[in-house]
Structure 1
Amino acid sequence: MHSSVALGLVPVLLALTACGNAPPAPAAPLATTPAASEEPPVTGSLAAREAASEPDATVEYDCEGLRINVATDADGDRVRFVVDGDTLELAREAGPSGRLYVAAEGHRFWAHRDDEARLTLPGQHERNCHRVY
């Protein structure tokens, strides 16, 4: 009697399988993380990404009445500031102490203490600069 009951269940099992009641298919494999050599996707706003590439430090100095905002790049290899509407970019050179930046045109900016510097512009006297807080 058991064999006839088993034979009677075969058509029912086949019908259930055809109706979509089959056991669930195995889950898809999980996505892998990108390889270390792949760069992560860019995130954040354009302004945030640009701000991240801006100079690390900007300091305002008063150089005997001439105010300048000196922006130092992240490596400390270059400074940039505006004088009389001209943007000057000076490269770091070896100096006696502090940080000396010069340009071929004769511009010099020498930050010899945390809050003191000297600025030399072609054809002008050397100016003593004090950091503005």
Structure 2
Amino acid sequence: MRTAPVVLLLALTLVACSTESDTATAELTPAPSPPAASEDAAPTGSLAAREAQTTPSNTVEYDCEGLRITLAVEGEAEDARARFVVDGATLELPASDASQGDRFADADGNAFWRHGDDEARLRLHDQHERNCARVY
């Protein structure tokens, strides 16, 4: 008959030990570290936010009668240069005289002329002049 209190005391001791053991184990187990940054990490955020991070702030995109270009202007005044890619070739045009707006042209007959915030004209060697509209 004395075994019932002994069994009860033994059961309470085991419960107390297992609770202390769980607490001690939890204290000794380090928290999982955050995953390491990877170049192959999946992109997050909106497409516009990701493009804003990768596109330099000095670039403007234009649609020139179906031909899309991203124009980057570097420098100022007569030292300015306009750079964009057309058909896989990078064109870099130096600043040129213009009565209005910004004009960039080279000796090969390539020219880009911005007039206003949203309009421009593009002439490529041996092609017709195209009207361009800024793409937002």
Instruction: Return the TM-score normalized by structure 2.
Output: 0.56
1:93 Cα offset (Å): 1.2
In angstroms, what is the RMSD of aligned CA positions? 1.7
AA of the residue aligned to 1:64: E
1:75 Cα offset (Å): 2.3
Rounded to whole Å, the distance in 2 between the matches of 1:56 and 1:106 is: 28
The unaligned stretches of length 5 or more in structure 2 are: 1-54
* Alignment-derived partner of residue 94 in structure 1: 97
* Alignment-derived partner of residue 83 in structure 2: 80
Match among 128, 131, 134 for residue 128 of structure 1 = 131
SS of alignment partner, residue 118 of structure 1: strand
* Alignment-derived partner of residue 51 in structure 1: none
Change in 2 beyond 3 A, CA 1:102/1:55: farther
Rounded to whole Å, the distance in 1 between the matches of 2:69 and 2:60 is: 8
Rounded to whole Å, the distance in 1 between the matches of 2:56 and 2:94 is: 14
* Alignment-derived partner of residue 34 in structure 2: none
The alignment-based identity, stated in percent, is 57
1:74 Cα offset (Å): 3.7
* Alignment-derived partner of residue 64 in structure 2: 63
1:20-59 equivalence runs, <5 A? 57-59=58-60
Instruction: Return the TM-score normalized by structure 1.
Output: 0.57
* Alignment-derived partner of residue 24 in structure 2: none
CA contact (8 A) 1:64 1:128 kept: yes
Q: May I ask how many residue pairs the two structures share in their alignment?
A: 80
AA of the residue aligned to 1:94: D
Rounded to whole Å, the distance in 1 between the matches of 2:87 and 2:104 is: 19
Question: Once superposed, which parts of structure 1, at least 4 consecutive aligned residues long, lie more than 3 Å away?
Answer: none
SS of alignment partner, residue 121 of structure 2: strand
Change in 2 beyond 3 A, CA 1:106/1:55: farther
Rounded to whole Å, the distance in 2 between the matches of 1:122 and 1:73 is: 22
Change in 2 beyond 3 A, CA 1:94/1:55: farther
> CA offsets, 1:48-96, max 9 Å, x none?
xxxxxx9651000000000000001042610100000000000111111
Rounded to whole Å, the distance in 2 between the matches of 1:117 and 1:69 is: 13
> CA offsets, 1:24-52, max 9 Å, x none?
xxxxxxxxxxxxxxxxxxxxxxxxxxxxx
